[in-house]
């Protein structure tokens, strides 16, 4: 799963209780004109658009919608929120006024069954288990990507994305997110980083037992001069015992993947999805000055 979080540094989340239809940004009761307006707003914000809804059984529609603007860039993470009438969603999303900062975290679980049925089958029990622990923070969401890793969970505003989450992981996931920690064994990567940096980050966390969400900040990534499949990624803010006064250099190799798999639950043929293998993990001193 390492290095598979869809790279984006911002999100526009729009509540639509459902049902959701097909498509990466699904058809819904919003209609094509409102959906296209939301797409344009998201593009102007350099954000990715998701539809969200509360977990569980369909609730009575009160005509009020919740919207979020989320920034995942390191050091500038924040969640802005506002509400509006259902008929005013497009205008409210585009309006820069009327937003307030929301403390804490959001936990989004992909349950977009019309995109891939396994996301609904595996995602809904996870969403319900999380909501039982943190009801104000948990939302079902439309397509996150990486359907084969269902259930997928996105934690905001850090952008950490998890895969193959089970309902039994709910307690650990809620506790870790609230405490500013990562669960490396379930991590796909941090969406604000490039995929190679995501992979290097998670490999280092698994090897060193690092779970602090603020640790292991990518500062450089480059291809090897002789082998283009090799990448060298430098990570700062590492534990002092691992890289005293310097950085961790993580070398990873991009491969075709050793095991064939169905890339979606509805796929008819197995393929070899790309993977990032750990080659080396070395502490390096920073140059003086």
| Rounded Cα distance, 71 and 194, in Å | 16
Across 13-33, average pLDDT: 85
pLDDT, tens only, 120-169: 788 899 999 999 999 999 999 999 988 788 799 999 999 999 999 999 99
Question: Given the structure tokens 């989004």, which residue do they identify?
Answer: 108
The pLDDT of residue 62 is above 90: no
Q: Quick one: pLDDT at residue 267?
A: 62
Looking at residue 113, what is its pLDDT? 62
Higher pLDDT, 97 or 263: 97
For β-strands 106-110 and 138-141, DSSP reports them as parallel
Average pLDDT over residues 59-72: 89
pLDDT confidence bin for 289, thresholds 50/70/90: very low
Q: Is the pLDDT of residue 288 over 60?
A: no
Which of 14-18, 50-54, 285-289 is the least confident region?
285-289
CA angle centred on 181, ends 179 and 186, rounded to 5°: 130
For 205-225, write each residue's pLDDT tens digit.
999 999 999 999 999 999 998
Give the model's confidence band at 246: pLDDT under 50 very low, under 70 low, under 90 confident, else very high.
confident
Q: Name residue 107's beta-bridge partners.
A: 138, 155
The 8 Å CB, 24+ separation contacts for 252-260 are: 252/196, 252/199, 252/200, 252/203, 252/276, 252/277, 252/278, 252/279, 253/227, 253/229, 253/277, 253/279, 254/196, 254/229, 255/229
Mean pLDDT of 91-98: 98
């Amino acid at each position: 799963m390492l290095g598979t979080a869809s790279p984006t540094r911002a999100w526009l989340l729009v509540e639509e209780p459902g049902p959701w239809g097909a498509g990466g940004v699904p058809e819904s009761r919003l209609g094509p004109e409102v959906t296209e307006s939301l797409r344009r707003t998201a593009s102007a914000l350099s954000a990715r658009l998701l539809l969200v809804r509360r977990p569980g059984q369909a609730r009575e529609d009160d005509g009020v919608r919740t919207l979020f603007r989320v920034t995942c860039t390191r050091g500038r993470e924040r969640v802005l929120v506002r509400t509006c009438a259902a008929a005013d969603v497009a205008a409210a999303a585009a309006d820069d006024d009327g937003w307030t900062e929301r403390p804490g975290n959001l936990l989004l679980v992909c349950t977009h069954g019309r995109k891939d049925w396994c996301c609904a089958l595996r995602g809904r029990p996870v969403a319900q288990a999380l909501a039982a622990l943190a009801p104000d923070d948990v939302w079902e969401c439309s397509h996150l990507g990486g359907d084969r890793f269902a259930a997928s969970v996105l934690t905001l505003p850090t952008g950490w994305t998890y895969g193959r989450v089970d309902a039994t992981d709910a307690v650990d996931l809620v506790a870790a997110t609230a405490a500013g920690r990562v669960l490396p064994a379930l991590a796909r990567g941090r969406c604000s980083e490039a995929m190679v940096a995501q992979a290097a980050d998670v490999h280092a966390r698994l090897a060193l037992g690092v779970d602090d969400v603020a640790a292991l900040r990518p500062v450089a990534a480059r291809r090897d001069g002789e082998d283009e499949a090799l990448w060298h990624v430098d990570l700062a803010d590492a534990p002092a015992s691992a890289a005293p006064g310097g950085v961790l250099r993580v070398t990873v190799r991009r491969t075709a993947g050793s095991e064939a798999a169905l890339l979606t639950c509805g796929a008819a043929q197995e393929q070899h999805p790309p993977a990032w293998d750990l080659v080396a993990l070395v502490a390096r001193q920073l140059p003086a000055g």
